[in-house]
Structure 1
């Protein structure tokens, strides 16, 4: 049996703010726009927003977005209103941490993965 991840669902009470963030700030394409459900194309895995609450553990999941040019991506996202920290670089790896309007962590990194 082979499994592959198709989507990550984020539960939120702030659907309008998160929709604007993932669509307008991060620039993801809205694939599905239904009452209580928004789904975005994030490359190899979709991100879905679902109305409701979630009891996040002590350390919530983090969405990581690939960018070959972290500094340029950071600047563009800051101009769109994203909340991002400074770029951290070590041994060719560049990354930048941020949070969405609900406080969910995300990262921009140049680590492509395999």
Structure 2
């Protein structure tokens, strides 16, 4: 079997908040949307934002940030320091820029408004 990644779905508290974050921060295009679902075109794959079911939302404290083991990586076509500074100016939590020996990319992690981790990746 050969598989190809086509989409990643994040279960979120506030679909509209995250829709706006990803559209405004990364210029992603909305493919489809309704009150509990948004599908974004992220280039090589799609990102789905699906509202967490009501039976689970009642157990989540207001302002809770999720801690998960998923990271969305965005290749960017601009200077990573400029991109990082632009996101920081919008109050996005961003970590330091890093790289590794013999690795052709600069990397910088950040978190969306619900605590999901994303990474900016830029060629050196």
Q: Same fold (TM over 0.5)?
A: yes
Contact 1:15 1:36 in 2 (8 A): yes
Contact 2:68 2:116 in 1 (8 A): no
Gaps in structure 2 of 5+ consecutive residues: 57-66
Please provide the CA RMSD for this pair: 2.3
1:4-62 alpha-carbon deviations (Å, 9 max, x no partner) = 111100001121221111111222111111221101111101001001158xxx74210
Which segments of structure 1 move beyond 6 Å, counting only runs of 4 or more?
none
Is 1:85 aligned to 2:95, yes or no?
yes
1:110, CA displacement in angstroms? 2.3
Within a 5 Å distance, the mapping from 1:5-16 to structure 2 comes to: 5-16=5-16
Aligned residues: 109
Contact 1:38 1:50 in 2 (8 A): yes
Q: TM-score, normalised by structure 2?
A: 0.75
Contact 1:95 1:108 in 2 (8 A): yes
* 1:60 aligned residue (50, 54, 69): 69
